[in-house]
A and B are shown apart, each in its own frame.
Chain A
Amino acid sequence: MNDLILVILLAGVVVLSTATAFTRDPGRQALVYGGYGLVLGVTMVALQAPDVALSQIAVGAAIVPLIVVLTVTKVNRVLEQHRRARERR
């Protein structure tokens, strides 16, 4: 039974990691990465590592998607400004 749970979680890890790498838009990729972090955290609990799972879920599902989305917001605005400056020239 434990083996079955571990196999299902590892399959989830494979699917979500592939999805994260191949989602081109960084804004959407942040959300997929958050989901991947969550499934990885549950896998860590299945591997009897609650400390690490706590770290992983707090960091991978909360902090990293937050700063990625903030970066994307800022970068899009900066690139828009550059584009308009180039058109004016």
Chain B
Amino acid sequence: MPDALIAWLPYAVAGWVLLVGCIGIVTSNNYVHAVVCLGVVQSATYLLLLAIGWSPHATAPVFADTSTKAKVVDPVVQAMTLTDVVVGATVTALLLALTVQLAKQHGTINPDEVRSLERDQEDE
């Protein structure tokens, strides 16, 4: 495996996932689809952070059964990512609750069809 390939691959993959998620959001015609694509965008940052923390021939930063002098990867980025994952899911839930409310009030979850509140009240 050539060194040059592995030197930039994880960062490139993180960038790709970020952009593909953004494309998914912009070309979406369904708010629930857009919320899941937002989750994909967030996961790109997890990958980037963990890739930055990695070292070759290093093990996980847990010393339950490894010697305390062993070489380990960076625990700081892992701590950041770990809380991010769970909190990101809760924010996704909040967005989905808003989508349900939107469907009840406006009768549509297509971003192009949702207009301001005034237009809706004109139809009534």
Interface residues of A (CB under 8 A from B): 3-4, 6-7, 10, 13-14, 17-18, 20-26, 29-30, 33, 36-37, 40, 43-44, 47-52, 55-56, 59-60, 63-64, 67-68, 71-72, 74-75, 78-79, 82-83, 86
Contact = CB atoms under 8 A, between A and B. Distances in A.
Contacts of B50: 44, 47, 49, 52
A7 B5 CA distance: 9
Bin the interface of chain B by size.
35 or more
Given A51-B78, A86-B107, 17 more contacts: A3-B6, A7-B9, A10-B9, A20-B40, A24-B29, A24-B33, A26-B32, A26-B36, A47-B50, A47-B51, A48-B72, A60-B39, A63-B89, A64-B92, A67-B93, A72-B32, A74-B103
A33 B47 CA distance: 16
Contacts of A82: 103, 107-108
B14 to A, nearest CB: 9
Provide the main secondary structure of the chain A interface. helix
A70 to B, nearest CB: 8
Given A10-B10, A33-B36, A79-B108, A51 B1 contact: no
Contacts of B96: 67-68, 71
**Which 8 residue pairs of A and B lie closest in terms of their CB atoms, listed nearest first?**
A21-B24, A82-B107, A26-B32, A3-B1, A55-B85, A71-B96, A59-B89, A17-B17
Nearest to B43: A40
A86 B123 CA distance: 10
A52 B46 contact: yes
Contacts of A36: 40, 43
Interface of B: 1, 5-6, 9-10, 13, 16-17, 20-21, 23-24, 29-30, 32-33, 35-37, 39-40, 43, 46-47, 50-51, 53-54, 58-62, 72-73, 78, 81-82, 85-86, 88-89, 92-93, 96, 99-100, 103-104, 107-109
